[in-house]
Amino acid sequence: MTIALERPQKSKSAQIRERLGYPIIDTDVHTQEFIPAFLDYLEQVGGSKLVDRFQENLPGSSRFRWHKQSWEERRAYRTARPPFWGRPTKDTLALATVTLPKLLYERLQEAGTDFAVLYPNLATLATHIGNEEMRRAVCRAANLYHADNFGPYGDRITPIATIPLHTPQEGIEELEFAVKTLGLKAIQIPGHVRRPIPAFQKYGEEVANEATWIDTFGLDSEYDYDPFWAKCVELKVVPTTHSSGMGWTSRRSISNYQYNHIGHFASAGEALCKSLFFGGVTRRFPTLKFAFLEGGSAWGASLYADILWHWETRNPEILQNNNPNAVDRELLLELFTRYGGEKVHGRLDQVGNGLGFHGHLFSPDDPGELDEFKEAGITRPEDVRDRFLNHFYFGNESDDIRVAHAYNRKANPFGDRVKAFLGSDSGHWDVPDITAVTANAYSMVEREIITEEDLRYFLSIHPLELYTSLNRDFFKGTAVEKAADEYLASVNR
């Protein structure tokens, strides 16, 4: 039986795209692997026994998996309620689009999209698999699968390569295979790795599984990740991340997924962004840019302003205003004597305790390094701007009006735009209709949330800037090659 598919000849998004006259690049389109075919690749990489283990213990599962527990167990272990019903199912065409490369390719133009960077769902979870053999095999199989299945559609689609990063070496090995052997040109890294806190391992596995810290590859990392960042520069690939903060701190409701979901991508992105900044990665690798997907861009604008504010109030020079040794002791005692009253009299020898200081005011503990901006190479406010705005990009969904914060040049330091760009997240429950993406973005202009000029940065300029920053040929042979060449010519004048 043949079923006729009712497809509009020209969607509203496609009509808007025609009027805009510049290419639209969507940096975050989600797809779902067809699992039976994916398992063929996994067997090719790791053998049938590994496939069996994979199916028994899918990524994201754990010993105390929520749906296998009773409510008593969920309360006892404070197991966070995980995502559920994450695909648009009522629209069968939308559901099939998520999995079938040819169908997705055809429908991109209905969305008004000229070029898309794809983020497969299983591959996004793969980098967080704890077992090294399984993690590396799943990442390798994912990269083979996506290179094969999306390769024929390279003029409008490029899938990311999934790069594990528990150690710099495993990241380098998969990166070289993905780029040199498979020809993939966009990558995704995990935003963090959970590592056990050594001091708690003596209390047994259950305690050690919970007593973990978050390694974000920059500040205070267990490894030196500079060799990996150097390899990214050498192979001309931009690291992007799409990591989850689900289950972190307050996002551990045992009953409410929405409570856990709200803000968790932004939380994970912020952790990595701060680590790269304060760990000096952006100083040591001045040409390397990073993109954070699905968390929106409002947090990026907030973090930019917050880092600058901290520099202005906690830089080494200003910090001397807080030096306990700067206190005029005689004046302090006189003021306490004059204004302290009966609760102070007889206790003047204790003046200095409290007042916001740890320990006694006049014998402070050694605080260690005072210049916490040293690794980042910050010596003036403009350095904050350059380290932040020249390196960090933020994926923003097409209907997320908080992009207004990123583009609020009156409020942002130095009158800048924070580099938000379209990352539609289409294919998930929050974007059930891929054909609405461009129309949703343009509605922000119609509602005067952003300007026409902002929209062009959002849909076109910032994605072009990011992906050509290391690889000028990133868009060669694609539907946006001409626009990319024109952009590069304009910035190199």
Contact 29, 435 (CB under 8 A): no
Whole-number pLDDT of residue 63? 43
Is 137 a member of any domain?
Answer: yes
Residue type, 461: I
Tell me whether strands 115-120 and 157-162 are parallel, antiparallel or unpaired.
parallel
Listing DSSP states for 352-402 in one string gives: TB-TT-SSBTTSPPP---S-TTTTTT-SSHHHHHHHHHTTEEEEE-TT-TT
Q: What is the DSSP letter of 224?
A: -
Q: Give the chain's domain count.
A: 1
In 262-280, which positions are buried (b, 16+ CB within 10 angstroms) versus exposed (e)? ebbbbbbbbbbbbbbbbbb
Whole-number pLDDT of residue 159? 97
Tell me whether strands 186-189 and 193-196 are parallel, antiparallel or unpaired.
unpaired
Contacts of 352 (CB under 8 A, 6+ apart): 327, 332, 360, 361, 362
Domain extent at residue 97: 12-313+391-491
Is 341 a member of any domain?
Answer: no
Whole-number pLDDT of residue 474? 98
Tokens 């070289």 sit at which residue? 176
Whole-number pLDDT of residue 357? 45
Whole-number pLDDT of residue 308? 97
In whole angstroms, how far apart are CA 53 and each of 47, 68, 135, 166, 244?
10, 18, 12, 21, 24
Is 329 a member of any domain?
Answer: no
Tokens 């899938």 sit at which residue? 159
Please provide residue 402's backbone torsions phi and psi, each rounded to the nearest 5 degrees: -70, -5
Whole-number pLDDT of residue 64? 47
Is 145 a member of any domain?
Answer: yes
| Angle subtended at Cα 392 by Cα 390 and Cα 396, rounded to the nearest 5 degrees | 130
Nearest by Cα to 165 from 143, 122, 196, 135: 135
Is 324 a member of any domain?
Answer: no
Contacts of 181 (CB under 8 A, 6+ apart): none
- 48-56 and 132-150 helices cross at what angle (nearest 10)? 100
Tell me whether strands 212-215 and 420-422 are parallel, antiparallel or unpaired.
unpaired
44: left (phi over 0), alpha (psi -120 to 50) or beta: alpha
Mean pLDDT for back-to-back runs of 10 residues, the chain (493 residues): 58 95 95 94 97 78 71 92 85 91 94 95 86 96 97 97 98 98 98 93 85 95 98 98 89 92 93 98 98 96 97 94 84 88 82 54 68 96 97 96 97 96 88 90 97 98 98 98 96 78
Is 451 a member of any domain?
Answer: yes
Residue 229 to residue 218: CA distance in whole angstroms: 10
Residue 135 to residue 127: CA distance in whole angstroms: 6
> By 3-state DSSP, what share of the chain in percent is helix, strand and coil, each rounded to 5?
50, 10, 40
CATH number of the domain residue 120 falls in: 3.20.20.140
Whole-number pLDDT of residue 368? 81
Tokens 């289950």 sit at which residue? 247
